[in-house]
Structure 1
Amino acid sequence: MPQALAYLVANPHPDKPVFGMLTNGDDILFIKLTRSPTPEYNLSRVFALFTSAREVYEILQILKGIGQAMSTMGCAYAP
């Protein structure tokens, strides 16, 4: 998580929230970072990818929402 937060803090647009996803191949955790006025991050619950189809559906819904938010804000993907 520290490495992911370091990448998120390096966002060149500090006025906009930044999203990240951590995975170990089975579990998935989403991160949202805001930097104004001070850096603050929030974590989602842990999603277990191989537990149920419902978990996969929820993960895809979150990714879809993040993708829509990015396209609305005119953001580009940066690995």
Structure 2
Amino acid sequence: MTGVMASTTAYLYTHPPVNAFFTTLGDLDREQKRIALAEFLDANPQVKAELQAIRQPTADFRDRCGVQVPDMADS
């Protein structure tokens, strides 16, 4: 999990527009965040694929433990 967090941090650092988008989510409630993130990822399929690839070790880990991985828009 630490590696996923480090990779996410590095990704956001090297992709300022994506980082800026995530920064705008701070004041939204959970449902508004979910909707905004889903819309952003739909409009930016490459970003979505890259973030999913970064999160894949989390999905693999949770799979081994039998725990459902939250959708990116729900986490």
Q: TM-score range by the shorter chain?
A: 0.3 to 0.5
| More strand by percentage | 1
TM-score (normalised: structure 2): 0.36
| More helix by percentage | 2
TM-score (normalised: structure 1): 0.35
